[in-house]
Amino acid sequence: MNPSNKRRSRVLPRIAAVALSLPLTLGSTAQTPQHSPSSPTPVVQTATLTASRPANLPPVAPLAAGFDVRQFESMAQQLVAGQRVPGMAMAIVHNGKVVSARGYGITDTSHAQPVDGHTVFRLASLSKSFAGTMAGLLVNDGMLRWDSKLVDYMPTFRLSDAAAAQQLTVADLLSHRVGLTHNAFDRDLEQYVDYRTLTQKLAYAPLKCAPGTCYSYQNVAFSLIGDMVFAATGDFYAQEVQRRIFKPLGMNDASLGLEGIQASPSWARPHVRGRGGWVSLMPKTTYYQVLPAAGVNASASDMAQYLLAHLGHRQDVLSAPLLATLHQPLVDTPGEIRGSSWRRTRLSSAGYALGWRTYDYAGHRVVFHGGAVQGYRGLIAMVPELDFGVAMLWNSESSLPSGLLPTMLDSALGLPPGQWLDDDIDPTLYAEATPEQTGPDAPGTHVSKATAAPH
């Protein structure tokens, strides 16, 4: 028996214990001593590759002439002006360097504090890429395989078709090819039905296809990967993510679960629309039950490090072959081409990989994910050919900031600009920092009278 099988035989009897304990959360209160630029950022220079680029990565194309980080920092500042959104954070990386990791606006309309580069936001479904990454690290270690069967780690698992349950693999879970109807039991999750009960209800849920043969987005079923991590390692999913991803990448503000975000020195409260404007709430606990699907919290500083790692600049943690596997689409998702105007205009194909979406964006490959839970929204995107990545997080249910992403991608790729943002977002206005807002822990943006206090 090889060592991984021996370890599996030791931990399989512990699977029953996960029923009440899997949602264990970990918090982190450490801060990364990384400078978050607060002064105007110069045009990104791309003609010369930096020495930090690993030799085994392919050459990168330059960003289009005129791409200017200051324009996008200015646009983010304008999005929080007048509390169109209460607060947001944005990280931009290029060619192995963090070119911006800043906060804008306020954490809470009821108790206004400025958002900075270390303010923590809830990531919602951006968490799914962490689950794929975690599984990939265990595959590299020989503790899992992409074709490992779920029932080998959870022998009591059932689907309505017994044969289908026997076939479900790690890769199927992480690419939403379980075979269930879309978002199975999410409504129950919203009604605070516990995760373990919902996994048992999967035994009675209708199937639309055999596992591995069709795409159907999941949260409950997707999170079974956390049970597999526990069975393979003997440690809870949250502990493994903290140990294998957050700590080595220097994601010192990042955490999992409600306890994690509440333990953060600075965190953005969720906001919903009220009669008088944005109303802050306590984070809703429902989707924190499904940590792999929606349990991560992180700051702009954290997301900058995560982007660098997924662009190949931390191969001591995430190897180039692993990244290629994680970002390789396994199933088509044509529904992603419909929806917002930028999707209809720019996307010609879409797929789902292992916790990541992939797009053909006007002929260029973009690796992407979006996330939304009550009071929070977020986006993350990478253009590998440019060695370019961006993450945006905001603490409201507004869709307004989402247009900033295609605006930035168009500029980086040299595409004709589309009108993806409001007409009153002026890209020619640069965000200026006041003298008292400089330094590594500065909010990185001037807090106007309109955003400094609630209305």
Residue 81 has pLDDT above 90, yes or no: yes
| Cβ neighbours for 228, distance < 8 A, ≥ 6 positions apart | 135, 144, 148, 150, 153, 154, 170, 173
Q: Taking residues 37-57, what's their average pLDDT?
A: 47
Q: Give per-residue pLDDT as tens, 90-144.
A: 999 999 999 999 999 999 999 999 999 999 999 999 999 999 999 999 999 999 9
CA angle, corner 6, sides to 5 and 10, nearest 5? Answer: 115
pLDDT at 64 over 50: yes
The pLDDT value given to residue 52? 58
pLDDT digits (tens, 9 = 90+) for 139-166: 999 999 999 999 999 999 999 999 999 9
Q: Which of 398, 416, 382, 455 is nearest to 92 (CA)?
A: 382
Residue 295 clears pLDDT 90, i.e. is over it: yes
- Domains of the chain in start order, with CATH, are 3-26+132-233 (3.40.710.10), 69-127+250-452 (3.40.710.10)
Q: 38-47, 233-242, 271-280: lowest mean pLDDT where?
A: 38-47
Helix (H) or strand (E) run with residue 280 in it: strand 277-280
pLDDT of residue 275: 84
Q: How far apart are CA 128 and CA 394, in angstroms?
A: 18
Please give the mean pLDDT across all residues of the chain: 85
Q: What is the mean pLDDT of residues 441-455?
A: 29
**Integer angstrom CA distances of residue 437 from 26, 443, 445, 446, 450:** 31, 7, 7, 8, 17
Please tell me the predicted confidence (pLDDT) of residue 9. 42
Please tell me the predicted confidence (pLDDT) of residue 428: 52
d(CA 103, CA 99): 14
Per the listing, tokens 């999410």 go with 186
Rounded to an integer, what distance in angstroms lies between the CA atom of residue 331 and that of residue 212? 9
Is residue 432 scored above 70 in pLDDT? no
Res. 49: pLDDT tops 90 = no
Q: What is the mean pLDDT of the segment spanning 391-398? A: 97
**Amino acid 440: pLDDT:** 31
Q: So what's the pLDDT on residue 53?
A: 74
Mean pLDDT of 283-303: 97
249-261, pLDDT tens digit by residue?
Answer: 999 999 999 999 9
Residue that is written with structure tokens 């994680």 in the block: 326
Instruction: Give the separation between CA 226 and CA 118, rounded to whole angstroms.
Output: 27
